[in-house]
Structures are given as C-alpha cells and as structure tokens.
Structure 1
Amino acid sequence: MPKEQNFRARFGLMIFVTLGSLALLAPLSFADKDSEHDEVNLHELMEDMEDDFKALRKQINNADKNDSSVELLTDLQEDAVEAKGFMPDNVLDASASEKDALQTEYLIAMNKLIIELAQTEIALLENDNKKAVKALVKVRDVQRSGHKKFKHD
C-alpha cells in the first residue's frame, strides 16, 4: 500500500504542477489580445479593404468585369467578417461604462457593411450594374460613417 500511496501522491503533485503551469502561461498567450498587435492587424485589414474598394469603384460599371468585381466583393466581405474580431483603439481605450456600448456600435456598423457588400454582390450576380453602383454608394456611406466614429489618426 505505501507504494500505491506514493504513486497517488506523485500523480497528484504532477497534475497540480501541470495545471499550475497552464494557469501561469495562459495569461501570457492572451496578453496581446487587446494590444497594439490587434491594432496593426485591424489597420492592415482596413487598408486591404480600401485597396479592394478603390479597385471595385473603378470597374463596377463595367459588366465585362463582373466576375472580377464579385471576387473583390468576396474579399471585402471576408475582411469585414475578420475585422469584426478586432476592436478599434477608441473602443479599447474607452471607460468601462462606455466600452460595451461602443463594442456593440462597432459590431453593428461592421454587420451593416457586410450586408451592403452582399447587396452589391447580389446586384452584380443579377448582372444589374446600375443597381450595383447604387448599392456601392450605400457601402461607401456605411464605411464613412464607421470611419468617422471609429477610425483614429
């Protein structure tokens, strides 16, 4: 029996040390979640979106480029969905009492952008470039509104 008790004691100690190590390391792996690292990624995503948006504006009227325009819209939608996983600095830096409301506003703005991008894509898939141009104006309006509220210099 002493051998079995010795094993249990060692096993218990091993579990305790392992869990303790994980508890100490976990905060380190998530420490940068709300830091400059995310800001850089959000900034890069937004730059990529702006480049795609500029290219799309140049060709949205041209029905011969609808396939390319749909690809740009797909990229924009994917980037917008990914951007929802980040928070702008003014949200991160907000007081605790304002933070929840700002996070909600940011997510709503990003969802509105995704919806308008999808409406633009639908118009192109229907080969209705005039409707796509109108939808892209709405995308730009949502984008400007969001940048006014959340973009910092």
Structure 2
Amino acid sequence: MKYLISFITLAIANFFVLTDTKFSYDPFADLANLARSKWEPISKTGRSLIAAIWAIDNYNNDNKVKYKLNKLIIVEKAVQPTLKLRIFFTACTKAGKKRKGRKGKKTCDYFRATFEKFPTTISPVIWVRKLSRKDERPSKPSKKNYNKTSKTYKKTRNWK
C-alpha cells in the first residue's frame, strides 16, 4: 500500500512538471520573433505606387515586353534604417496576334519588385522578378538552331 501511494504521488508530480514547462513564459521568445520579422506592411499609395511603375518600366525595357500595372497586392518596408521596399503586384499584357483563339485576351502575371535607396547614391536600385511563370519561348526554334540531321539529303550535281 505504501508503494502504491508513493507511485501515485510521483505520477502526479511528473504530470505537474510536464504541464508547467509546456506553458512556461520565455521572455526572449518575443525578441526572437521580432528579429525574424524583417518587413512591416505599409500603405499601397504614394512612393510604393511610383516604385511599382518604375519596376514595370525596367522589366519592359530589359525583356522587350509590354506589361501595364494592374493591381498592387502587398507593399512592405524593411525594418532596417535604409529605405527598402518590397512590392508584390500584378501586371497584364495582351496576347500576341499569333494566337488566333485568344486574340484580345489579357495575360496577367505576378511580380515582386525590390526598391532600394542607399544614402550615398542619387538614383534608387530596382530589382524585378516574375513570380507566376517562366517567360514564354517560341514554339518553333529558329532556323539556326534547327537540327535537320534525320531529314537532310545531299544534292549532288551530275557533271557532264
């Protein structure tokens, strides 16, 4: 009987110890979560809209496409003291005339632009990345890259 009572008290003590450590408060947990969050949301107007338009212009010039800004999704500012914005947005373009079935249909893609202004430089630096899908490639390869090994035949001239 004595062993049974000591076993029960030991089991109850272990139960309290386990539940105590499960709900204990760690004062450094809030600091760790604060350090992990590098971005804080800001409004979708003003310089974030201008930065998104600049980003689309840069992407259009680099890739020779015609996208127009459709909608800002998320705008975040870095917690660090330098001015750094991360902008998620959609941009749309019309489909090419090559596709007869979808002649006037818009194709929309998701983009992420990072706008960074260093204190020492005059102009900002903008990086743009397309998130939704890879750039489309032509369905038929160009004539230079076309491999004709299986279907070629040699034309020979009969000299008389």
Could you state the TM-score of these two structures normalised by the residue count of structure 1? 0.33
Higher helix share: 1
Higher strand share: 2
Highest relative contact order (Cα 8 Å, sep 6+), 1 or 2?
1
Could you state the TM-score of these two structures normalised by the residue count of structure 2? 0.32
